[in-house]
Amino acid sequence: MLMLQGLGVTLANITSGAHTSMKNWLIFVLKVCFITSILMLVGCGPSVDKNLHTPGIVYCSEGDPTSFNPQLTTNGTTTDASSYQIYNRLVEYDPALGSIVPALARHWFINEDGTSYTFYLRKNVKFHSNKDFTPTRDFNADDVLFSFNRVIDAAHPYHQVSGGSYPFFQSVGFTDIINKIVKVNDYMIVIHLTEKDASFMANLAANFAVIQSKEYADQLAAQNKQAQIDSKPIGTGPFVLDSYFQNDHIRYKPNLNYWNGAPAIEQLVFDITPKSTNRIAKLMTGDCDVSALPQSSEIDIIRQNKKLELQIQTGFNVSYLGFNTERVPFNEPKVRQALAHAINKRAIVEAVYYGSATIADSVLPSLSWAYNDALPPYEYNIDKAKALLAEAGYADGFEMTLWAAPVQRIYNPNAIKTAELIQGQLKKIGVEVKIVTYGWNVFIEKLNDYSYDSLLLGWTADNADPDNFFRPLFSCAALLSGGNRVNWCNDNFDETINQAIAFTDEKKRVPFYLAAQQSLNEQVPLIPIAHALRFQVKSRNISGMSLNPYGGISFAKAKRKAAVNQAGGAQ
């Protein structure tokens, strides 16, 4: 009884009286507890029907853009987030037609000797407006002049804004090629080149040659807020940047005044999801509609899922085993040919790429109009390899280093594994391979010393022009700029590719590129291994998304199929 009194005291203390009501309340609460918890666990059940979402599209992007101006970088993430969404270029490359098509330039005219390009610009193209800026005029020649002069003219007031580095344009020598840009009238400009360059149009169509607003730039300059031009962008593209939260998401609104027809979706969101597995998971559960860069090992899972669609496109890239052609014994073409016969590319494509690549016979993908299909490929043949090695005086083989980067690149998902396979394959002809690896930054830095025997690297083209494969990788000039990793400088070859760009007509260029490939096939400064396929995964109910072989994703025509009908239904 004493205890019972104690209980009474305790209860009274808790409730300050109201003894009986407290007890009833407690019983009630406990009953509710159990029922609620069961409901909470069960009641949420299957998730919401994904068709019921607001009419918009979520894209699972792999990282943060470094800015919203693709001129400043060659980083694919930045290009994806800006180039095709916010901006337009003068001309565009149409992957379906395989040719250059009009964009902000309605049509153009190239003079006889290919040194002056006249562009007739589109009228009634509106720039975006945002909180700080409302355009008072349409797009015109001044904007084109501003955008290009910013890049090529070191004295331009905007050149140094955001660092003054324009990597793509520097790599194709834009400043040297362009003599001057002349405004004829508001809707007509002429670009004069210092010399003929057949790849010029392809460079204008690249993801990086976007047009910004001069009016916006002037306004920002007046307010002394120049840097804002690249962080709060104004363009003419199908989407307007709405908000950006680092590490989280980017939100775009459709540009209802878009000259090429307003987008069909009410909003576009880039969900920044660095982990590839997370992107796939979000796709499967409907939090994302389209996803960037699935890994080769995930391809099977995607194929098994009925809701998802895998889009495949041969990428304009190549992964290769390059030789330091100035070093013994790799200065001897026979040795290089021998190794080319000793490498089983099929095995590499299967084991490293899980079949998500095609075997490369040339540095050029077979998709290219300049591809030479008449050349004999180096078939996998140990006996031939041994014979060639013996001819070169290395019947007993030799030792070599093979540099492989420990990072995943688009052209090679696993260079270390590739290196190990090559190590095993070359052992069969008596060549001992020592694999060397460093962190990516150190690796790239150390390459400049040419202290390697051979290396595993690759190249992803910026545009469709074959010159973009040959010049940066093999020209003597590229020895200085650092693209020529095979330390190979061949005057005949240089002559050939220089002759090729002297013609603007593709047909006339073809023979030179065939000859260039022939020369590479004989000399083997590098062994092309594979062209990695480009993948994009999307939910089946999204249409209007095409896959661009040169990178860059566009949502201008994307839409959700039949979502509205179902939303109106009984669900």
For residue 417, the SS3 value is helix
Q: How far is the CB of 36 from other proteins (least distance, A)?
A: 6
Q: How far is the CB of 20 from other proteins (least distance, A)?
A: 9
Distance CA 290, CA 535 (A): 11
Which residue in 114, 108, 100 sits closest to 193, CA to CA? 114
Residue ranges of the alpha helices (H) in 438-476? 440-447, 467-474
- 38 or 184: CB nearest other proteins: 38
- 289 or 361: CB nearest other proteins: 289
- 424 or 439: CB nearest other proteins: 439
Contacts to other proteins from residues 34-53, by CB under 8 A:
34, 36-37, 40-41, 44-48, 52-53
β 116-121/188-193 pair status: antiparallel
Q: Which of 23, 107, 303, 427 binds other proteins (CB under 8 A)?
A: 23
Size of the site for other proteins (CB under 8 A): 46
- 185 or 247: CB nearest other proteins: 247
Contacts to other proteins from residues 299-318, by CB under 8 A:
307
Token pair 């540099």 is at which residue? 403
Distance CA 130, CA 249 (A): 19
Q: How far is the CB of 65 from other proteins (least distance, A)?
A: 14
Q: How far is the CB of 256 from other proteins (least distance, A)?
A: 17
By rule CB under 8 A, what string of x and - marks binding of each residue 255-284 to other proteins? ------------x-x-x-x----x--xx-x
Q: Does residue number 56 form part of the binding site for other proteins (CB under 8 A)?
A: yes
* Largest Cα–Cα separation, the chain: 114
Burial class (CB in 10 A: 0-12, 13-18, 19+), 524: buried
CA 208 → CA 73, 121, 198, 547, distances in Å?
8, 19, 18, 17
Residue ranges of the alpha helices (H) in 331-459? 333-342, 345-352, 382-391, 415-427, 440-447
Part of the chain binding other proteins (CB under 8 A), chosen from 6-14, 158-166, 290-298, 336-344: 6-14
Q: How far is the CB of 355 from other proteins (least distance, A)?
A: 23
The helix-helix angle for 333-342 and 415-427 (nearest 10°) equals 100
Q: Which of 10, 21, 451, 481 binds other proteins (CB under 8 A)?
A: 10
Q: Does residue number 249 form part of the binding site for other proteins (CB under 8 A)?
A: yes
- 80 or 215: CB nearest other proteins: 80
Contacts to other proteins from residues 355-414, by CB under 8 A:
none
β 308-314/526-539 pair status: antiparallel
Q: Which of 102, 157, 286, 544 binds other proteins (CB under 8 A)?
A: 286
| DSSP state letter for 127 | P
Expressed in angstroms, the distance from the first to the final Cα of the chain is: 61
Distance CA 58, CA 549 (A): 22
Q: How far is the CB of 242 from other proteins (least distance, A)?
A: 9
CA 111 → CA 119, 149, 188, 197, distances in Å?
12, 22, 15, 12
By rule CB under 8 A, what string of x and - marks binding of each residue 193-232 to other proteins? ----------------------------------------
Number of CB atoms found within 10 A of residue 136's CB: 8
Determine if residue 388 is left, alpha or beta; phi over 0 gives left, psi from -120 to 50 gives alpha, anything else beta.
alpha
Part of the chain binding other proteins (CB under 8 A), chosen from 29-37, 174-182, 201-209, 360-368: 29-37
Q: How far is the CB of 303 from other proteins (least distance, A)?
A: 15
- 201 or 250: CB nearest other proteins: 250
- 11 or 351: CB nearest other proteins: 11
Which residue in 235, 101, 89 sits closest to 168, CA to CA? 89
Q: By the criterion CB under 8 A, which residues form the site for other proteins?
A: 1, 3-4, 6-7, 9-11, 13-14, 23, 26-27, 30, 33-34, 36-37, 40-41, 44-48, 52-54, 56, 58, 246, 248-249, 251, 267, 269, 271, 273, 278, 281-282, 284-287, 307
